[in-house]
Amino acid sequence: MRCFASGVTTESHQLYPTFMRQLSHCIFEVDPEDSHRVTEAKRSELEGKHGMVGLTDAEVIRRISKEEWRLHCRRRTRGAEETALLIQDLLNTFGGPAGRDTLDIPLLDALHIQDIWKTQRRHLSCIQDPPGVQLYTQTGRLTKGGVNLLVYRCARRSTSLESFHLHLHLHRFIPGTSARAKYCQAFLVDGLVRWNEDRAAAAAPPVVAEERVASLRSYCGHLKHVLNQNSQWVLGLQMVQDFTRPAAYTGELIGVEYLYQQTGCVLEDVILDP
């Protein structure tokens, strides 16, 4: 979303908050049951504490804070195709009369925003929620307006995730600035594996592990996967919690390999046999 922000004329524009809210709506949809529950809780609270009766759903929703949405509502991505259609429609809308303020100043820089969209739309599939991964963990309950609301913690937007995008974790992955390209890539990939495993473990519901497996700790996905396969076959149970399953190599390049490919060079030949 911040990429699109660079295509606006100024963040102080009157329509900027509206544009960013609708852009978020193009990417995410709120779980309908959670949305209904928090809306009814807010309605009951407004009626009981403030005497505001007869409010429409839209009026109630406008009074729900960002923090309440974050705590009580799960969100999921809409899918790359639907997101692309919605964002294109949003850009078309704000690129016309609806995107100008009372002084007739446009919100979007027409040429710049289209160039950004042309670049960013190819990454839509990358920002979709991974299938089969539980991103929300229930951490508690609270009662608001007589309605029982669940409290969630989301692994999608966590402090560690934001720190990763600010390159704090990248600095920790690579010790020093004088490593050879191959070793720099190895440090980076190893750090990414550890980071992904920690985030997947944080997103999973808490599991009480048996004492005999509490000391079996490893970031090696292949090692844990093979151990679980063998222990399932011999003992009928899995020995370790394996939060990230080994995936087939797709040919995608990251880090130093990607930079080398941009210059027509090859860092090293990838051996597909693990």
pLDDT in tens, 109-148: 888 898 889 888 888 888 888 887 778 888 899 998 889 9
Average pLDDT, the chain: 81
Contact (Cβ atoms closer than 8 angstroms) between residue 243 and residue 219: no
pLDDT in tens, 67-91: 999 999 999 999 999 999 999 999 9
**Structure tokens that stand for 232 in this block:** 């399932």
**Positions in the chain short of pLDDT 50:** 158-163, 165-168, 208-214
Please tell me the pTM assigned to this model. Answer: 0.61
Instruction: Identify the three-state secondary structure at position 112.
Output: helix
Residue 60: count other Cβ atoms within 10 Å of its Cβ: 20
- 95/72 Cα distance (integer angstroms): 34
Pairing of strands 75-77, 28-30: antiparallel
pLDDT at residue number 270: 57
- 29/51 Cα distance (integer angstroms): 31
> What single DSSP character describes residue 72?
H
